[in-house]
Structure 1
Amino acid sequence: MADKVEGREATFFGGVRRFARTSGAVGGIAARVAGERVFGIKTDRAAHAEDLRAILGGLKGPLMKVAQILTTIPDALPPEYAAELSELQANAPPMGWPFVRRRMAGELGPEWQSRFASFSQDASAAASLGQVHKATLHDGREVACKLQYPDMPSTVEADLRQLKLAMAIYHRMDNAIQNDEIYKELAERLREELDYLREAAQMRLYEAMLADVADVHVPVAIPELTTPRLLTMSWLEGGPLQRWIETDPPLEARNRVAEALFRAWYVPFYRYGIIHGDPHLGNYQVRPDGAVNLLDFGAIRVFPPSFVSGVIALFEAVRDQDDAKAGDAYRGWGFQDITPEKVTVLNGWARFLYEPLLEDRVRRIQETDGQFGRTVAEGVHSGLKSIGGVRPPREFVLMDRSAVGLGSVFLRLKAELNWSKLYREVTADYDEGMVAQRQAEALSVAGVPPPK
């Protein structure tokens, strides 16, 4: 009992310490923003953003991860904040070996080392929620053991309180985007990421959905060595995508990787209504044979099949310049109070996202200046502000994140593909009823809880 009490106290005070460290940053910015609004005191947003990045970068935790997601959602944060936070890297300082031994004993028992033929003392990778150690099982299989950092539930809750405060502050500064649903979505997905048993099930889900997709590999979870805070999976050989890009591979190889990533994301979405919501360079590896490893299955979003239909309908509306159909599509996405004026403004962003899919030719994902996306977002922001703002539905968050995140990867790859042809292939013979059937069967087989 004493251990349990001590654990609860450690969790509580860990959260308090976390809250105190972040609240100083957010509270200080809040005071300066209030001064600007109430007293007309002009403040330097760029300086605030730099301060915030320094503090969040030092924490290297879930708040940093959420901030990275927010930078891909137009106007969820001021552009100054987005520019600074986009520089954050998801590399946390690793736990030392004595600490790892204690954590592993807590997950697998005091004789945990006897269950491995070898276990590397040094972390192979470290991120916002945990770190990975390479190990070998007695049957010779090489595995990756992802061990969650201690006290993460309280850390997440402390960070979410600060995130809610920061987003509320920004909404008072600028109401073009009403972000309450964005917060709810981020909070639910982040809490889900803490459950490694759920992630193991989602890994099985992706293994099944991508079984027939060429050049994409998914690790296999080892159930007997997996707990809510330890995920043991097959070790996949490959190197980081960013490092591979830096070797300046030939166009054919870059195109192969880009096509594999396109299918890895959109085959599950258009055929099962499921998407991987965390597409960044750290979640991809390139194998020695040029294929791709897909990593990290904590942020998975299951959509109602009607939402998938809405995404396809919006593409068709943009293609056909049909504003009435676009309005219906936005409603299908979950947007409320859609007016002709809002359709006109939102279509600016939709055209930007869908434009590569409209041209039936080989091309780069974006052929304009690298800042064009920000220019489009600023235009959409101004338009929304002039008509009273918009409340994006929860479903918008990770869908937009995936589109922008993948686009960024394709830009870095300098891939040249017929994106329109790829899109037509993955949406061929689309049927909402079949999506519902495939989704229910896949979730059941993998053991993933159905959406609430």
Structure 2
Amino acid sequence: MKEQSNIPTTKVERAGRFVTTGLKVGTNYIKHYTRKLMDPSINKDALHEDNAADIYDTLSSLKGSALKVAQMLSMDKGMLPKAYSDKFAMSQYSAPPLSGPLVINTFMKTLGQSPTQLYDKFELKAANAASIGQVHKAWKWGNPLAVKIQYPGVANSVKSDLRLVKPFAIRIVGMNEVDMDKYFDEIESKLLEETDYKLELQRSVELSGQCAHIPNLVFPGYYPALSSDRIITMDWLEGQHLKEFLLQNPSQEARNKIGQALWDFYQFQVHQLRKVHADPHPGNFLMREDGTVGIFDFGCVKEIPEHFYVNYFKLVDKEILKDEVQRREIYTNLEMIHPTDTEKEITFFSGLFQQMIDLLTLPFTQERFDFGNEAYFREIYDYMDYLYGLKEIKESKVARGSRHSLYINRTYFGLYSILSDLKADIITGPHRIADLMAEQTPATVY
């Protein structure tokens, strides 16, 4: 993949790229409607492909928050047209990397030494590149290391980038601006945290240590002396990303073991730690044939307020939700319905939400669940399509759902997506998390 020799860092440069892309997208729409006048049967597939390519080219060259939003959107299957989700998924681990001189410059500015001075060997060509940074392989003390380097200008451009990318997100997703305003504040706070590599290093050490007892998880060791505010050095983990792993036709046993490990990892964090690795895209996991999975990148961690946690997981309890008074109280606490709603609106939205909740919480209500059940996910995606098409949803004047639900929902959607791709058949009942919290048996930490 071609390397980038520079990244636009000023607000003017970055805004200029968005303006140019906006003009391209506008031209694509003109072409589409011109074709449609000549042939009314033409659908929007070609339009989506052209727009997805133009928008991704811009976002991948800008990197940072703009590209991160594309990555987030690509994880929500059913939200985007396939052309967008396929293209944006490239941001998970195969964005265009930075050139060698820019990498060396980052070391000199933040650690005062070049990579060759700090490590016994350092590969200038990136092993992979994503939205916020890229990873290089290095060696020291005879051990292979992964060196994560943040792109220039990322931390300083979060706020301005989100203002620029917002119109594209609104148009692609079809969501009202009032909805986007509410959640973009949450996105901004998380992205600012993701650019703080000192905070990420601290969280990486803390959370990997707390989860080390969970079977079949492997975490890297971290090296603070070889890290800075824009560089993190950790052990190199062997394994394959999900797509490559599945191409090897792994055994069902390995799929189940990895799926169980990921399920346990997330349930333990949510229910025991009240904080969670909230970036479950395939680029953050390395899978092995023996059924173990390497986990890294704790840049995005969502801390879960107690009030939100209590109400959110009451949604799993079908007996509680049978009580109309309690159900309305929970929905109100989670901001799914609002005090200003009419009785008609409350009835309408409560019914919609209840059906979606019944679908999404199904794995929690069974002792064991087969995520390879394609009919289950087809039903979810079909219902999501139905919701997005409803006039009442599109014209709603309020955002429905707490800002805290954004990253928690994203975490579970990401987890479900990976488990679906693995076709994992795993234990999901309430006794599983209780057993994990009781065992506390150390696992492998490299």
Is residue 320–residue 326 contact of structure 2 (8 Å, CA) maintained in 1? no
The runs of at least 4 consecutive aligned structure 1 residues that moved more than 6 Å come to 30-34, 41-44
Cα deviation per residue 1:309-339 (whole Å; 9 max; x = unaligned)? 1222011047864444333333343445063
Q: Find 2:151's aligned residue among 141, 149, 152.
A: 149
Quote the Cα distance in structure 2 between the aligned partners of 1:12 and 1:79: 29
Matched, 1:159 2:167: no
Aligned residue in 2 for 1:385:
393
State the 1:32 CA deviation: 9.5
Is residue 56–residue 64 contact of structure 1 (8 Å, CA) maintained in 2? no
Letter in 2 for 1:92: A
**Aligned in 2, Cα 1:71/1:372: closer, same or farther, shift over 3 Å?**
farther
Matched, 1:57 2:56: yes
Aligned residue in 2 for 1:396:
405
Q: Find 1:340's aligned residue among 347, 351, 361.
A: 347
Q: Which runs of 5+ in 2 are unaligned?
A: 1-5, 31-36, 340-345, 438-446
Q: What RMSD, in angstroms, separates the aligned Cα atoms of the two structures?
A: 3.4
How many residue pairs were aligned? 411
Matched, 1:116 2:119: yes
The correspondence of residues 46-445 of structure 1 with structure 2, limited to 5 A, is 46=45, 48-58=47-57, 59-60=59-60, 61-62=63-64, 63-72=66-75, 79=81, 83=85, 87-90=89-92, 91-110=94-113, 113-137=116-140, 139-167=141-169, 175=176, 178-287=179-288, 289-317=290-318, 321-335=322-336, 337=338, 339-364=346-371, 366-368=373-375, 370-381=377-388, 382=390, 384-385=392-393, 388=396, 390-391=398-399, 392-419=401-428, 421=429, 423-426=430-433
State the 1:285 CA deviation: 0.6
Quote the Cα distance in structure 2 between the aligned partners of 1:47 and 1:310: 43
Is residue 273–residue 302 contact of structure 1 (8 Å, CA) maintained in 2? yes
Is residue 175–residue 385 contact of structure 1 (8 Å, CA) maintained in 2? no
Quote the Cα distance in structure 2 between the aligned partners of 1:95 and 1:12: 12
Letter in 2 for 1:125: N
Quote the Cα distance in structure 1 between the aligned partners of 2:357 and 2:273: 22
Give the alignment's TM-score, normalised by structure 2.
0.80
Is residue 203–residue 218 contact of structure 1 (8 Å, CA) maintained in 2? no
SS of 1:220's equivalent in the other structure is coil
Give the alignment's TM-score, normalised by structure 1.
0.79
Quote the Cα distance in structure 2 between the aligned partners of 1:68 and 1:134: 23
Is residue 53–residue 88 contact of structure 1 (8 Å, CA) maintained in 2? no
Quote the Cα distance in structure 2 between the aligned partners of 1:341 and 1:176: 22
Cα deviation per residue 1:108-147 (whole Å; 9 max; x = unaligned)? 114553332222222222111211112222x334321111
Is residue 346–residue 380 contact of structure 1 (8 Å, CA) maintained in 2? no
**Aligned in 2, Cα 1:251/1:13: closer, same or farther, shift over 3 Å?**
closer
Quote the Cα distance in structure 2 between the aligned partners of 1:176 and 1:129: 25
**Aligned in 2, Cα 1:170/1:149: closer, same or farther, shift over 3 Å?**
closer
Quote the Cα distance in structure 1 between the aligned partners of 2:138 and 2:312: 42
Cα deviation per residue 1:31-52 (whole Å; 9 max; x = unaligned)? 9999xxxxxx999765554333
SS of 2:375's equivalent in the other structure is coil
Quote the Cα distance in structure 2 between the aligned partners of 1:144 and 1:159: 28
Is residue 50–residue 84 contact of structure 1 (8 Å, CA) maintained in 2? no
Q: Which runs of 5+ in 1 are unaligned?
A: 1-9, 35-40, 431-452
Quote the Cα distance in structure 2 between the aligned partners of 1:319 and 1:255: 32
Is residue 46–residue 81 contact of structure 1 (8 Å, CA) maintained in 2? yes
State the 1:209 CA deviation: 2.3
Is residue 284–residue 292 contact of structure 1 (8 Å, CA) maintained in 2? yes
Matched, 1:19 2:15: yes
